[in-house]
Amino acid sequence: MAMHVSSACFSVFSHRRVHKIRAVASENVTTEDDKVKLGGSDLKVTRLGIGAWSWGDTSYWNNFEWDDRKMKAAKSAFDVSVDAGITFFDTAEVYGSRASFGAINSETLLGRFVKERKQKDPGLEVAIATKFAALPWRLGRQSVITALKDSLGRLGVSSVELYQLHWPGIWGNEGYLDGLGDAVEQGLVKAVGVSNYSERRLREAHKKLQKRGIPLASNQVNYSLIYRAPEEKGVKSTCDELGITLIAYSPIAQGALTGKYTPENPPTGPRRQIYTPEFLTRLQPLLNRIKEIGEKYSKTNTQVVLNWLIAQDNVVPIPGAKNAEQAAEFAGALGWKLDTEEVSELRSLATEIRPVTGFPVENL
């Protein structure tokens, strides 16, 4: 899961400012040396990925509607990301699916975008990550393989780079982990991971896969400057200890850290229940400091908070891009690094803010 920001965040920029952001993206085209290995696997991905939660979704994003204009914007987000050298994309079988009241499956769109791009650039290598939904009626290892093959069909590929358990199941978790191992051995995936796993579950999953000689590559969790539960609950330190990469979804707190929202202009829809005017008032001192640091590096708030995560090491943020402007801005988080003092200062300022609510399944 990853956050997504509406295109309105760019309304505060002049046309000149947008061009500057695009230039930053083009200057920071990534190379093979800019990639990182996911955990102990052989899979290398860019230091920042793109989340595709909003693509096709009408239950949480896109103002509960989907049309050709939004689809073209998503396609532009994909192309601009690739142009900037960002080739790691995260999706899931439930994103945009009918089961989640979506309009079109995010996997279907991502597969279509990759295929169209490869027609122009046959040598393009894209790392696709998708996820298995641990629904209560899915039992046993075969359910994982069956769901994975369905995902491969929607994506139009024979294998994916990373397959993850989207959340812990109410039951059946042992079988799900067996299924991940089977997927690796059958050549359907290059690496496997989990998502929304606590420290205890993470250790159990790592141990079980390790017995088969398969590394647990990643744990995808909600992690941002103002949501540091992975630090506080031992998930981040466990990832570091066991050599598991932490993939951070909602890395800019669903837009709250961009500076777009104010107490007078809170987000609309479900996010308004989390990022209330009262919370946004408490957030302003931190946002002001982020802006000051950004001016030092000629970076936006968004680029600073994404770089704060990248600077943690062993963290790959995956902000969600709805359009080309957002994708270009995200690319500007690469190619530079906050210093240690700035990383510590921002964390210290953020600790004065009461944490926002995370994704509920992380507490299962």
Positions of the chain with pLDDT under 50? 1-28, 360-362, 364
Rounded Cα gap, residues 318 and 251, in angstroms: 7
pLDDT value at residue 10: 28
pLDDT the model gives residue 97: 79
Q: Out of 95, 197, 249, 275, which one is annotated catalytic?
A: 95
pLDDT of residue 161: 98
Residues 6+ apart with CB under 8 A from 237: 231
Count of C-beta atoms within a 10 Å radius of residue 155 = 24
pLDDT, residue 355, reads 63
Told to judge if 95 belongs to the known catalytic residues of this protein, a careful annotator would answer yes
Q: What is the pLDDT of residue 99?
A: 73
CA 92 to chain centre: 11
**pLDDT reported for residue 29:** 52
pLDDT value of residue 354: 74
Report the alpha-carbon distance of residue 89 to residue 45 in Å, rounded. Answer: 9
pLDDT score, position 350: 95
Task: Kindly give, in sequence order, each residue whose CB lies less than 8 Å from that of residue 186, ignoring residues fewer than 6 positions away.
Answer: 145
Tokens representing residue 7 in the block = 């295109």
How far apart are the C-alpha atoms of 320 and 249, rounded to whole Å?
Answer: 8
Residue 265 makes CB contacts below 8 A (sequence gap 6+) with none
**pLDDT value of residue 31:** 52
Query: What span, in angstroms and rounded, lies between the C-alpha atoms of 145 and 346?
Result: 43
- Best CA proximity match to 83, nearest among 117, 130, 127: 117
pLDDT, position 172: 92
Distance separating alpha carbons of residues 336 and 226, to the nearest angstrom:
22
